C-alpha cells in the first residue's frame, strides 16, 4: 500500500479519507493547519488501525509550508498516493466578493495541488505506479451554482486531472477527479452559508460521500460524481466533448462566421 499523503486532513472530507485509507492499510501523512485536530486524528487512527500515522502542520497558502510538503513528496519513496483535498470555497456573488480573498482561494485551490502533483509525479513515473486523487466539485461543470471564482478553481482541478490522466495513464498512474455535490462539512460555514440553510435533500453526509468516492476509485473511474444516479449522463457528456474535439481547429472558420465576399 505505502503511504498516502492527504491535504486538508484535519476535518471534513480529508479526515474521513484518512480514516478510510488507514483502514485499507495505508500509512498516512496527514497535512493541515490545525495542529490539535491533526494530532487527535493521528492518535485515534494510530489506536484504531495498524497504520503508521504522521501529522504535518502546514498552511498550503504559505510558500514556506508548501515547500515542506513538496520536499516530502519528492524525497519519501514510501509515498504511493496523493490526495489533493485542501481547499476553500465561497458562496457570495463575484461582485460582492473581496478580490484579495479570491486570490488566496486561487493559491490554495489551484497552485497548491499543481505544485504538490509536480513534486510527486516524477517518483510515480519512475516506479510506474501511484495514485492521484483530486477533489474537485460539481461546480466544475456547473459554475453558476456558487461563487464564480470558486467554480473556476474547481473547473481547473477537473481540467488539470484530465490532462494528467492523458499523460500518465499509460505509465501506470491512476488519476481520479471527485466531484462532490453539497456535503455536510464545515466548508459551508467557512464560506458564509451554514449547511443547515441548505435543503436537506441536497446534502450528503461526509462519510457517505467519501465511501462513494472510494467505490468509484475501486471501479477504475476517472470522474466520480457521488450524487449522480445515472452514470450514463456523465458518459454522454464526455462522449459529446470527445466528438467536439474533432472540430475545434480547422484552416477555415465555420460558415456562419464567413463574411460574404464581394
The span from the CA of 182 to the CA of 204, in Å, is 6
213 is a domain residue = yes
181 is a domain residue = yes
**pLDDT the model gives residue 258:** 86
94 is a domain residue = yes
Digitized pLDDT (tens) for each residue of the chain, 262 residues in all: 999 999 999 999 999 999 999 999 999 999 999 999 999 999 999 999 999 999 999 999 999 999 999 999 999 999 999 999 999 988 888 888 899 999 999 999 999 999 999 999 999 999 999 999 999 999 999 998 888 899 999 999 999 999 999 999 999 999 999 999 999 888 887 777 788 888 899 999 999 999 999 999 999 999 999 999 999 999 999 999 999 999 999 999 999 998 765 5
Q: Is 118 a catalytic residue?
A: no
Q: Per the residue annotation, which of 17, 26, 118, 150 is the catalytic one?
A: 150
- Other Cβ atoms less than 10 A from the Cβ of 223: the count is 23
All cell numbers assigned to 96: 460582492
196 is a domain residue = yes
| Residue range(s) defining the domain that contains residue 216 | 3-230
248 is a domain residue = no
How many domains does the structure of the chain reveal?
A: 1
All cell numbers assigned to 159: 481540467
DSSP E strands: which ranges in the chain?
3-7, 27-32, 53-57, 79-84, 130-135, 173-178, 183-184, 204-205, 223-224
With both helix axes pointing from N to C terminus, report the angle between 112-127 and 148-168 in degrees, rounded to the nearest 10.
10
- The CATH code of the domain that includes 212 is 3.40.50.720
The span from the CA of 112 to the CA of 109, in Å, is 6
Q: Quote the Cα angle for 240-245-248, to 5°.
A: 125
**pLDDT the model gives residue 163:** 97
**pLDDT the model gives residue 194:** 80
If residue 215 lies in a helix (H) or strand (E), which one and from where to where?
helix 206-218
Calculate the dihedral angle through the C-alpha atoms of 61, 111, 87, 28, rounding to the nearest 10 degrees. -90
**pLDDT the model gives residue 261:** 59
Amino acid at each position: 500500500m505505502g503511504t498516502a499523503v492527504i491535504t486538508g486532513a484535519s476535518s471534513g472530507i480529508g479526515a474521513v479519507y484518512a480514516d478510510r485509507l488507514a483502514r485499507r492499510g495505508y500509512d498516512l501523512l496527514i497535512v493541515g493547519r490545525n495542529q490539535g485536530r491533526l494530532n487527535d486524528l493521528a492518535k485515534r487512527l494510530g489506536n484504531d488501525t495498524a497504520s503508521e500515522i504522521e501529522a504535518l502542520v502546514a498552511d498550503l497558502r504559505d510558500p514556506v509550508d508548501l515547500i515542506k510538503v513538496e520536499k516530502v513528496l519528492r524525497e519519501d519513496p514510501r509515498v504511493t498516493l496523493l490526495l489533493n483535498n485542501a481547499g476553500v470555497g465561497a458562496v457570495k456573488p463575484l461582485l460582492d466578493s473581496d478580490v484579495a480573498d479570491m486570490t488566496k482561494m486561487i493559491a490554495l485551490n489551484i497552485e497548491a495541488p499543481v505544485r504538490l502533483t509536480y513534486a510527486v509525479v516524477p517518483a510515480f513515473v519512475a516506479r510506474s505506479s501511484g495514485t492521484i486523487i483530486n477533489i474537485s466539485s460539481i461546480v466544475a461543470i456547473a459554475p453558476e451554482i456558487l461563487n464564480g471564482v470558486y467554480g473556476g478553481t474547481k473547473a481547473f482541478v477537473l481540467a488539470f486531472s484530465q490532462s494528467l490522466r492523458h499523460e500518465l495513464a499509460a505509465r501506470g498512474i491512476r488519476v481520479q477527479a471527485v466531484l462532490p455535490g453539497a456535503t455536510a462539512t464545515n466548508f459551508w460555514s467557512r464560506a458564509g452559508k451554514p449547511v443547515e440553510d441548505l435543503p436537506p435533500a441536497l446534502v450528503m453526509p461526509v462519510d457517505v460521500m467519501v465511501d462513494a468516492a472510494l467505490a468509484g476509485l475501486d471501479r477504475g473511474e476517472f470522474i466520480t460524481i457521488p450524487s449522480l444516479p445515472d452514470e450514463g449522463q456523465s458518459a454522454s457528456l464526455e462522449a459529446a466533448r470527445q466528438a467536439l474535439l474533432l472540430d475545434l481547429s480547422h484552416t477555415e472558420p465555420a460558415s456562419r462566421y464567413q463574411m460574404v465576399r464581394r
